[in-house]
Structure formats: structure tokens, C-alpha cells
Amino acid sequence: MKESDVEGILHRHGYVFQEHATIYATIKPGVAAYQVGLKQTMFSNKEHLLHVNEKGIIILVLDEMSGTILEDSIVLLPLEDIQQVEIIPKSFAFRLVIRTKQGDLEYNIRKTTLGAPWHKHNLIYFLHAFEVSS
């Protein structure tokens, strides 16, 4: 997937695209995922794209078979609902915890992703935005 594809989808849905603000992440199943509107991630790991902009964190759910964005499943976590963002370095990945009023969303973020060279580049900006050293 190209980053320009993400930009087009965000614009179609009325969101502002920011450079170097999109990364791949795998959500861990949990009740909070259901409560923020990610019903299909309640019981299994799912691939998402996370895009950070001035409104909050936009979650774009990916189709398991095709890898395309499911445009009817886009969720915005508004800044006012986000209480804390914590990134914990691991050996081959990072664990991202987004604390919201509805509960904690947990993601695994790999350091590299096949087919998306922009992910590794954007990850540096993402970590810097939340002040984490890689």
C-alpha cells in the first residue's frame, strides 16, 4: 500500500493528512476496542493503520485478505478522549498503549513492514512525537 492511498482515503472522509504520521500496527483484542467502535477487533488481532493529526488518532482497519483499507470502519479517537499514549520498546517491536476514557487500546508495532517502506521512516517521527528512543 502506498502512503498516497492513505492520503486519498483520509481526504475523502474529511480528515487532514499529515506527512510522516501513518504507521502499521496490530491491535490486541480487548473490550476497549469494542467500546471505541472497533467491533471486529474484539476477539482477534487485526492489522490497522494509525494516522496522527491535530484532531487525534485515526484508526484505519485493513482487510485481512486484500490488505486494503475498510473505508466503512474508520474510527477517530479524538484528542479529548485520549488520556495517555505510552510506547514500550521491545526486541523486534514496540508496544503501544493508548489510554482512553473507554479503556486501553494495545498495539504491537513492528520496526519494519513488508510492502510499506514508508512505515519504518514514519515510525521514527511517530516515536519522536511521543518522545521514545528507538
For residues 9 and 71, the answer to whether their CB atoms sit within 8 Å is yes
pLDDT at residue number 16: 94
Closest to 49 in 3D by CA, of 99, 85, 5, 80? 5
Structural domains of the chain sorted by starting position, each given as residue range(s) with its CATH number in brackets: 3-129 (2.30.29.30)
Per-residue pLDDT, 30: 76
Which residue from 19, 54, 29 is spatially nearest to 108, judged by alpha carbons?
29
pLDDT value of position 131: 67
Given its phi and psi angles, is residue 114 left (phi above 0), alpha (psi -120 to 50 degrees) or beta?
Answer: beta
Strand order in the sheet with 93-100: 75-78, 56-61, 46-53, 22-27, 103-110, 93-100, 82-89
pLDDT at 133: 47
Mean pLDDT by runs of 10 across the 134 residues of the chain is 93 95 90 72 76 93 88 91 91 92 91 84 84 54
pLDDT digits (tens, 9 = 90+) for 10-45: 999 999 999 999 999 999 877 777 777 776 655 567
Kindly state the helix (H) or strand (E) to which residue 89 belongs, with its residue range.
strand 82-89
